[in-house]
Structure 1
Amino acid sequence: VSPTVYDKAKVEKTLGQDPTSFEVNYEVQKNIIYKGKSTVSNGDFEYSFIVPKDISLAYGYGKLSHYANNDIHDAMGFDTSIIIGGINTNALSDSDGPQIEIYLNENSFVNGGITNSTPTLIANVFDSSGINTVGSGIGHDITVIIDNDNSAPIVLNDFYTADLDTYQSGEIRYHFPSLDAGPHQLTFKIWDVNNNSSEVTIDFVVQNDLDVSLDRVYNYPNPFTTSTEFIFEHNQACNEMDVQVQVFTVSGKLVKSIHTNVYTNGYRVNGIYWDGKDDFGDQLAKGVYVYKLKATTIDGRSAEKIEKLVLLK
């Protein structure tokens, strides 16, 4: 079941911008105190959370909204008789902001990596007191800012969902509209229910996928003794690619060729394994080698990069 708990309704006004119209008061109940997921067992479920300090302290009627499904049936219901308000003067002291792990498109994304022009922000967050999504405290929204444009923050309160059976951790997913090609910087900020904040900044590069592009081509570990893995980033998400790694001596002699076919769910390929042996199965001598990594799409487009590795054994 997916419960959503709303703060009290607020009175707002229409804009009254049309010459023939006038301002009209209306009520709206949209500030979310808690949004999560709970396990249902034999028809019963329960959940708990800490109410944010940013709620309106006046007492009034909040709202519980529940939605459930079991892949066969849907169920929903609500309750508007719950009283919300006041403050707990004996609440536990908390001065630490939330912990943040942030990615673009996939959890293997690394700072400075490649994305498409419409990446998906993935933020995994944790706080012992819970995350503030109310949106009624000035400056206490979950926000993301692109390229230091503080005049246009994107508010993500409604995109947060707590993890199953806990109020302490959750995830934000947000799909960006089209971004210009080139380097960008993203700053993500989030608050806990006690109004402590945390912020993290990452860099990324938007590349179109018309031409194949490779970046961050390396092997790990490097130097190595017994085995290593080749890793690279690209701009061909959800495409099938033929990957070739050729290892050469510094004098230019080809000693090892590796071919593999990969289907890319994201923008990073991990784990092309090499045991440090040549094409005949013999252990190569220790020293410096050069390798060329080439990636080719099924329609023949390709890109390649040349790097160095060191074999210690």
Structure 2
Amino acid sequence: ILDTLTLRPTSFKFFYYPNPPSGDSLRVYIESLHLGTVIALTICDDGAQSVLGYSGGTPVRNAIKTLGSYYIDSVRYRESWCIIGKKGAPIGSVPEAYTKLFAGPAIIDTSKLVIADSGYVVFPVIDNSTEWLSVTKNDSLLPGTGINYYPLGIKHDNQTDTLSALTFSNNVAPLTGISAVDYPKLRLIAKFRANELKQSPNLTSLGVNFNSLPELALNYQTVGTDKDSLVQGDSIYLNYSFYNVGYVPADSFNALVYLKKGDNSIRKLSDTTIISLAENQKISKSINYKTNSEDGFGDMSFRIYLDSLNTLREFHKDNNYFEIPFRVLKDTTTPVNAATVNITFDDLEISGGELVSPKPRIRFILNYSGTFPIEDTSAVNYYLDNQRIYHTMMDSINLDTIGKKLYMTYKPVLSDGDHSIRVTGKDIIGNNNNEFEIYFSVISELKILQTYNYPNPMKDNTVFTMNLSQIPEELSIKIYTIAGRLIKDMKIPPSDLRIGFNSIPWDGRDEDGDIIANGVYLYKVILKKDGKSVSITEKIAVVK
């Protein structure tokens, strides 16, 4: 059924075969229509037989004639036909199309100009305002026509209030009586009224003037540290700046900096209240953080939050946060009397909490002075998981009397899980109060852990970092567009990898050597070993 004013469909019905009795259902439906009802009717497939009947003059075809159809009795198997009928119209007085089999579709192409006495236009929602100022219009009114303008105020809970009609002077109406605090969103409605001659007023343009929001922002270009790794006890400088890139001042917000420790706990380093930051201005701050035993070691970061209390309305909140990582290395050297001990796993020092091989080559390097009792095997004691490693259990012991170094190598077979190495030594009066302990883990299954890239978003280059439980036979990093097109395939030889923490740089160029464009990409890290493959997929953004 069509609306007689606009010709828009108001309801739809389908009469299918073999849902019996579809022909009778269509006849009853047409007979139920009121006189003057306008209906669009068409046929498909073999409805001419299965619904209308095999010949002319069937009851349902006769019912269609009451819509003004001239051709309905002629329509046969798989022929095309359609009509825009009107209940009670004379036969042949309505738009109708009919084509024979194989002659193509039946098409009615018609239009109707509708002239209404009144109407309205609802304009899109206007958001992100701190102060509503005015409305400016450009319209023209013929005698007897008119346009009334109303603001619709939208509250924080999306409840909408129709406010008082606007009063214009020289095509400008004030909005200063509408509070942007109560109504942070606004939309306008223009109600049109034609004259007795059906002539319409014309609206050419309608604009709203308002003060927009502040916009705080920080990113990888405004945050930096003077180093990305340091030994426990050293200091690291955090320098960060944040901008107000909005159009009005940002008043009364806080800048909060947290330290994320290696165990993922956090500690507040600073919380500064900013009274006001003018538009297009920045504030720069710095923090000198000294690493210590209480905060621990491992993968750490500075987390910076702007307006953490959410007191400001802004365009976006996702650029109010930035995290910059760094790594604190635990000093693996411990003093024992007039000696120091270094520990390596497969010739690499670890900072603690890292992955090592299930069959590591653990090397203890004792650097001693001339006063150290090198012959006393109890001067320094070594423990694996609190079980003492005696000198007789060492795989090799080598003494360098010239360089004053004692090398001891131990090759245990470790089970999956957490382990520890502890070293104790006697002081000058014989007490075992010098102690050092380092923790590590073993995973015999092939796994990729803690996969990240830094910086992300990247500008020109980035570094992929990951922890590997095993050294694979093959490691590849494949970079795809968000649509799935492969643009870079990096293959890393096993000789460049180690169990535990690995970092792999990328210069931001595709396989053709071209610098990739801004956007979001996917990268997939794939490991293969002994016929087994594992992978992980992450996102990376490029912003220049």
> When the two structures are superposed, what TM-score results if normalisation uses the length of structure 1?
0.51
Change in 2 beyond 3 A, CA 1:170/1:312:
farther
Equivalent residue for 1:201?
437
Name which of 524, 531, 534 aligns with 1:303. Answer: 534
**1:185 to partner: Cα distance:** 2.2
1:144 aligns with 2:383: yes
Contact residue 479 and residue 487 of structure 2 kept, 8 A: yes
CA distance in 1, matches of 2:500, 2:365: 19
Change in 2 beyond 3 A, CA 1:253/1:174:
same
Cα deviation 1:276-297 (Å, max 9, x = unaligned): 1123322234676542211112
* Long gaps (5+) in structure 2: 1-334
CA distance in 2, matches of 1:246, 1:202: 35
Cα deviation 1:177-198 (Å, max 9, x = unaligned): x332212222223458886864
Q: Specify the structure having the higher radius of gyration (Cα).
A: 2
Q: What amino acid does structure 1 have at the position aligned with 2:417?
A: G
Change in 2 beyond 3 A, CA 1:264/1:95:
closer
Equivalent residue for 1:134?
375
1:293 aligns with 2:528: no
Change in 2 beyond 3 A, CA 1:216/1:162:
farther
**Aligned-residue CA RMSD in angstroms?**
4.0
Change in 2 beyond 3 A, CA 1:214/1:184:
same
Equivalent residue for 2:22?
none
**1:243 to partner: Cα distance:** 1.5
Cα deviation 1:234-276 (Å, max 9, x = unaligned): 3445xx6221102345676654322244247852585644211
Equivalent residue for 2:342?
101
Q: What amino acid does structure 2 have at the position aligned with 1:213?
A: K
Change in 2 beyond 3 A, CA 1:132/1:121:
farther
Name which of 273, 277, 283 aligns with 2:515. Answer: 283
Change in 2 beyond 3 A, CA 1:282/1:189:
same
Name which of 385, 392, 411 aligns with 1:175. Answer: 411
Equivalent residue for 1:166?
403
Q: What amino acid does structure 2 have at the position aligned with 1:141?
A: V
Higher relative contact order (CA 8 A, sep 6+): 1
Question: Match of 1:142, SS?
Answer: strand
**1:213 to partner: Cα distance:** 1.9
Change in 2 beyond 3 A, CA 1:256/1:192:
farther
* Long gaps (5+) in structure 1: 1-93
Question: Match of 2:494, SS?
Answer: strand
Equivalent residue for 2:356?
115
Instruction: Kindly tell me the number of residue pairs found equivalent between the two proteins.
Output: 207
CA distance in 2, matches of 1:187, 1:305: 35
1:188 aligns with 2:423: yes
1:215 aligns with 2:449: yes
Name which of 380, 383, 389 aligns with 1:154. Answer: 389
Equivalent residue for 1:72?
none
CA distance in 1, matches of 2:538, 2:350: 21
CA distance in 2, matches of 1:163, 1:227: 45
Structure 1 stretch displaced more, 264-273 or 252-261:
264-273
Question: Match of 1:153, SS?
Answer: strand
**1:109 to partner: Cα distance:** 4.5
- Larger helix proportion of the pair: 2
